Structure 1
């Protein structure tokens, strides 16, 4: 039987490592509640102390682009770090390339994180969910509970940080960045990005760009 992890255990691990609450919970569950083992595992994954660096100012970095084969889909991204020294590192530059490719492969992604989704967009999505026919006949509290679960899923679809990394699906883009923060010793932030699709907004045949990018990645 798996040992129940208490909120106090999670807070203790977070205070010792600076890792996120979710990462701490997962680490404790995997270690059977052993704090020392959980700390070691977080360090191996590069998650320990990454959150503590998240408040540091990032004024350096680079602009990276990705253009899919056939030049019909392109992405431009600004990835920031703290120093020009790190910005010149091949590891940081490869991270920028990987994230740009990630954005190209995820058509639903519109924002860097859930926190950046505008209030009016969230209200719009909430109204849609609450008006769905399959929950209209249910009690109000049940409707809100079902809608809340669906909204959480929808917000994650819109958020880059919540996507599973296309080259290593067991981690998210947020976890990928945290590992690089631990590796390079600096705060790293995706500031902004833009996706360009040839002929977007014009009447044209539908091309499955996600499938194209995924196929190309798989053949590398």
Structure 2
């Protein structure tokens, strides 16, 4: 039996990120073969990842990577905000974003197969991170903009990420617009992007809200009243129609046009949006346990 030294355990920990006792056990079982031990720990990590895969991961972090006109946002979820703020988790998400940028991956499945700077695939690193941090982690979404126009990437608190493509203008305006999208979350870019079905429904609602007196006004006046209400609603749901957060005296459209620019499009990700979170009732859980 080869001697399992402290330095050997330390080296394996640095390579794999696994716990000290796990490393010592793996080295003992592999008779001191560090490569075999590392492989065993990787397989163990995959097994642990499979066991945790069904647990809800609705917290996490948005990571960003950019090189000139190419930028990516990646949403990686964890089960708790505690792990989302862990330095190891942050390092993992940053590494995944860099891999997304470098590989040109178009979707999450392609990203999982991409290689990190360490030589591991993203999926292998995810399994290792699960084994180390003890929570389910999922690489949920990837968005990318690649353009010769101005591209801005902005992440707010690790929870909201935005990419903006701006034709004309400058980098400062593009970043300001990305901050606006992060804060105001407009569903659409311009009025022309708002679905006709949405407008028709809003007209129906506004008409139903009107008094009989207003409904009996001449058709042209009634149309003006309804159009005014719909224009206000459309402004509220479009980037161009909203007051610009960095200068609320003007709309985004006015700020963009003053710079001779045009917003080609934007992408926005918020951590956990659309995931149904599990609310734990710890008091009830404890009370139930005491009755057993």
TM-score calculated relative to the size of structure 2: 0.40
> Which residue matches 2:164?
77
Measure the CA separation in 1 of the matches of 2:268 and 2:216. 41
DSSP-derived class of the 1:162 partner: coil
Q: Aligned-pair distance for 1:145?
A: 4.4
DSSP-derived class of the 1:194 partner: strand
**2:251 counterpart of 1:172:** yes
The Cα offsets for residues 98-143 of structure 1, whole Å up to 9 and x where unpaired, read as 0000111113x222211222222211222222223x5366426475
The one of 185, 193, 213 equivalent to 1:116 is 193
**2:170 counterpart of 1:92:** yes
- Contiguous gaps of at least 5 residues in structure 2: 1-146, 279-292
The Cα offsets for residues 161-218 of structure 1, whole Å up to 9 and x where unpaired, read as 122221222122122122222xxxxxx221111221111112359xxxxxxxxxxxxx
Correspondence list, 1:152-191, <5 A: 152-181=231-260, 188-191=261-264
Deviates more, 1:141-150 or 1:152-161: 141-150
The Cα offsets for residues 38-96 of structure 1, whole Å up to 9 and x where unpaired, read as xxxxxxxxxxxxxxxxxxxxx83133211112x11111111123xxxxxxxxx711111
Is the CA contact (8 Å cut-off) linking 1:130 and 1:143 kept in structure 2?
Answer: no
Measure the CA separation in 2 of the matches of 1:94 and 1:127. 41
DSSP-derived class of the 1:66 partner: strand
Give aligned pairs, total. Answer: 129
**2:278 counterpart of 1:200:** no
The one of 192, 211, 234 equivalent to 1:135 is 211
Measure the CA separation in 2 of the matches of 1:62 and 1:155. 26
Measure the CA separation in 1 of the matches of 2:277 and 2:212. 36
Measure the CA separation in 2 of the matches of 1:120 and 1:153. 17
TM-score calculated relative to the size of structure 1: 0.51
> Which residue matches 2:77?
none
Measure the CA separation in 1 of the matches of 2:155 and 2:212. 44
- Contiguous gaps of at least 5 residues in structure 1: 1-58, 82-90, 182-187, 206-220
> Which residue matches 2:156?
68
More strand by share: 2
Say which structure, 1 or 2, has more relative contact order (CA 8 Å, 6+ apart): 1
Is the CA contact (8 Å cut-off) linking 1:112 and 1:192 kept in structure 2?
Answer: yes
Is the CA contact (8 Å cut-off) linking 1:130 and 1:136 kept in structure 2?
Answer: no
| RMSD over aligned Cα atoms | 2.5
